[in-house]
Structure 1
């Protein structure tokens, strides 16, 4: 590719947006990437067997640097689905104590956002649409206005600039948030249509939950992807072996087959490694989707664990940006879920009290 895609702005800026206002409407997601439709009680990929021992806090508590004005070549957008202030605070307290520091705490710029859609309470479809396109829409709708006009997404803009693109999530890739970046439909429940549109968008790297089947009996989605040129990735070893010349790549990982699915941080690091081979730069969206799933069930320990796993993915993005010096990292959320509040505990994190509204 000869065209060089660039985005004007800071040479290296890390922005953390924590949501001041915003709940989440409950909508049953429907998947065609996995073996069966999911419900609100279903779970995405189980990323670690233990509760919190996997987490390593930053050794350096200083802010990442803001570099002088210049060219931004790459953009990494990390979305903690359902992650509000209390989700971050409870994770920090439990992992490193009230005075401790998470990796996302090292972001030098912090902002706040309201998250209502055309309704007072958003859902992930409208929230994802706002992040992907900059426009509000009706709940349930993906990158389409209330009058049904499609909206161009930042991923599509990146493709127009010949940039590589990626979507990484621990839910199915056609779930509301990732789907908002690569599909345009009236309802997040239109699973087959969303899957078809995402694949036809030809995102270079897609990692998420699902089932590719076997070589002799691929799943319907895997067969569809392979037919249009996708390289299929089914497990952690396949992902480690993936190279840039094997794109577009679709990685669908599941727990039930004993295939040892990769953690979100590992998927993020691999996606960055692959996409960074493109001389025109890249856009990557990473979603910590399981924070939302835990908070729908008022599961505080689960929310803490998933927020910390998301924080390790943030570390991968920040470490890459620090070395690359041409990468914009944005950490945000589409909304808060559960009306979570920290209402007690101890400063050392041995106890954390949480209430839900």
Structure 2
């Protein structure tokens, strides 16, 4: 075989039969010998988690509290099977969350922005519908709107990820067992364009609604659950944990995950669920280091909940991964990193307190009080000028605040640098524990996880929706 021919064939194979070509990457049934069937599946996604994010969160926890993150602790103890995953979509080597989640949810690569709708109109049956049809309880937990791309990718077929009001209606029809996260505005007649009162419709359909931490704690599993704990995305973990009122009213990702597992595990046939740390991605887009690392640790606490359940249960496959990297942060000066040990607010929270009327001294005082950073006069002046200009650079609903300016200033004080503000094509971390994990290869394309989960649970693959 000629060298060029060999290279071209190898490239196509590595990209899932044409991640940017005309052929589709899709999951084909394979045969594995398994010692045990996975009764339950818990799929954990730290959305937008670059390797540096996983690394720095572990370093932060080790230096601050003297212990490893659960994820890295399982690597160190060799309990988890580990691999790398290619994250491409059908039309790009750099995926978005909708296409990445759909590769798992539908078992095929779809165009960026699409939820389980292939480039030729294919409608693969979303994986939670398959598990529901097999008699299992199913659900999603997230720190962003429950209709957002990653949870929706396990649930629905939708041409555009932006159709979140329509996705909310589809959730009513699906009657999944537990759906928890943010996004109340998408169900509330006051905010919906069609003025439909979806909250009332869910109640009439027999759902239990929880809208704060106490109501969530009181859920008993006697009816399907819709938990909505914020109008949009939920607060960053660092802001929640340092605001007593917010902490009292808003559950953490680990608390939501624990309650969801408690409810779903009441089904003797087992359950399948997705847990997403969605705001890791939002923080990465904004280059918000305090938000990023503490939300990654918030996600890691949910990893611990899942692994503890699985170790006791013995019949649960736990998958930990991300859909793509984002902004590729890294630590470049360790003697400055300790500033993050005592930070109590995200950049987003800090910047929302400010306006063009503030003085540079007030800006410097605020940042020192909540993040322990001592800004130079010219750095504080640059922030004030940004508010007085027309070009705010907010991201993901954070408002028109100078996220990236503050991030560039912070790099001199924390030692954390960023390669950008968007998704990357990096191969990403993937780890598994429990029945079926023995079938994880050292390298895998994202869409192949779909059938790996089905085979682990011995659930039929059912190729396409009608």
TM bracket (short chain): 0.7 to 0.9
Residue 278 of structure 1, CA deviation: 0.0
SS in structure 2 opposite 1:71? coil
Contact 2:140 2:275 in 1 (8 A): yes
Residue 309 of structure 1, CA deviation: 0.2
Contact 2:116 2:158 in 1 (8 A): yes
Residue 349 of structure 1, CA deviation: 5.5
Residue 315 of structure 1, CA deviation: 0.4
User: In the alignment, which of 333, 342, 353 is matched to residue 415 of structure 2?
Assistant: 353
1:128 maps to which residue?
A: 101
User: In the alignment, which of 65, 78, 85 is matched to residue 113 of structure 1?
Assistant: 85
Contact 2:50 2:327 in 1 (8 A): no
- Is 1:79 the counterpart of 2:37? The answer is no
Residue 219 of structure 1, CA deviation: 7.9
- Is 1:230 the counterpart of 2:207? The answer is yes
Residue 220 of structure 1, CA deviation: 2.4
Contact 2:127 2:155 in 1 (8 A): no
- Is 1:103 the counterpart of 2:74? The answer is no
Distance 1:145 1:343 in 2: 41
Change (3 A) 1:219 1:312: farther
Contact 1:72 1:327 in 2 (8 A): yes
User: In the alignment, which of 288, 292, 302 is matched to residue 281 of structure 2?
Assistant: 292
2:329 maps to which residue?
A: 340
Change (3 A) 1:69 1:346: farther
1:310 maps to which residue?
A: 299
Contact 1:76 1:284 in 2 (8 A): yes
Aligned positions, number: 287
Contact 1:265 1:313 in 2 (8 A): yes
2:228 maps to which residue?
A: 252
SS in structure 1 opposite 2:145? coil
Residue 346 of structure 1, CA deviation: 4.5
User: In the alignment, which of 254, 271, 285 is matched to residue 265 of structure 1?
Assistant: 254
Contact 2:58 2:72 in 1 (8 A): no
Residue 350 of structure 1, CA deviation: 6.2
Change (3 A) 1:340 1:347: closer
- Is 1:154 the counterpart of 2:127? The answer is yes
User: In the alignment, which of 137, 144, 151 is matched to residue 117 of structure 2?
Assistant: 144
Residue 100 of structure 1, CA deviation: 5.5
Distance 2:50 2:198 in 1: 33
Distance 2:145 2:197 in 1: 14
Distance 1:134 1:156 in 2: 13
SS in structure 2 opposite 1:170? strand
Distance 2:338 2:318 in 1: 29
- Is 1:221 the counterpart of 2:198? The answer is yes
Contact 1:132 1:180 in 2 (8 A): yes
Q: Which has the larger helix fraction?
A: 2
Q: Which has the larger strand fraction?
A: 1
2:179 maps to which residue?
A: 206
Residue 102 of structure 1, CA deviation: 1.0
Larger Rg: 2
SS in structure 1 opposite 2:54? helix
Distance 2:333 2:319 in 1: 30
Cα distance per residue 1:52-106 (max 9 Å; x no partner):
xxxxxxxxxxxxxxxx921210000000000121100111111114995210123
Contact 1:158 1:164 in 2 (8 A): yes
Residue 344 of structure 1, CA deviation: 2.6
Residue 274 of structure 1, CA deviation: 0.4
